[in-house]
Structure 1
Amino acid sequence: MTTLNHNYRQGRSGRPLARAKARLKREGSNVCWLCGRSIDVSLPSTSPMSWTLDHAIPLSVRPDLALDPSNHREAHRRCNSTRGNRTDVTWPKQANSRNW
């Protein structure tokens, strides 16, 4: 196993990431960086609108940034999943804007 794969795996799970998630959830703004709407942290993790930690630069692109706090963002589970590993997202999108 290479070091790169090891870092990638450790970035997705493990105690250091769990601590980073807990801290961001506790001290963050609880606003989704992708849609600009607030996140209800009391929702169960299975809810599409629940809180998740997102990586601004996806782990598939830069696995070495997995534990870097400057790469961590708060997002709804749905927004995070929809974004995938794209990096062309600008923050924040207007929560109630219309396309004219």
Structure 2
Amino acid sequence: MGRTGGRRYRTNRARVLQGATVCYLCGQPIDQSIPAPDPMSPSAHHFVAYAAGGGDEVANLRPTHLLCNQKQGDKPTRVVNRNSREWT
């Protein structure tokens, strides 16, 4: 099982995605009805990557599209376009 397959991650991922409407990385809408593995399906990005010491806490997860999350990988998080007031 991968690092994102653990129970803690899955539980906290569900919390982060609940009601999420905007991708933290690209600023575009997230459609909660799109199932994985579609590139535009909802995903939870680790703001501080595992490689940099981050974990699965809710405070370290951000709502994203699966594709945006995959493109970001474990590079330091750089937000291109924030459109949500909840992150300001």
Structure 2 distance, partners of 1:52, 1:36, is 14
Aligned: 1:19 with 2:7: no
**Taking every aligned residue pair, what percent have the same amino acid on both sides?**
29
User: Following TM superposition, by how much is the alpha carbon of 1:74 offset from its aligned partner in structure 2, in angstroms?
Assistant: 0.6
Q: Which runs of 5+ in 1 are unaligned?
A: 1-8, 96-100
Q: What is the aligned counterpart of 1:93 among 63, 81, 88?
A: 81
Deviation at 1:61, TM superposition (A): 1.5
Which of 34, 47, 53 lines up with 2:44 in the alignment? 53
| Structure index of larger Rg | 1
Match of 1:37 in 2: 28
Q: Give the Å deviation of 1:88.
A: 4.9
TM-score for the superposition, normalised by structure 2: 0.79
1:24–1:94 CA distance, 2 compared to 1 (3 A)? closer
Q: Is the 8 A contact 2:15 2:58 kept in 1?
A: no
Segments of structure 2 that go 5 or more residues without pairing to the other structure are 84-88
Q: Name the SS for the 2:11 alignment partner.
A: helix
Runs of 4+ in 1 over 6 A off after TM superposition: none
TM-superposed deviation, 1:94: 5.9
Matched pairs, number: 83
2:86 maps to what in 1? none
TM-score, structure 1 normalization? 0.71
Task: State the partner residue of 1:6.
Answer: none
Query: What is the RMSD of the two structures over their aligned residues, measured on CA atoms?
Result: 2.1
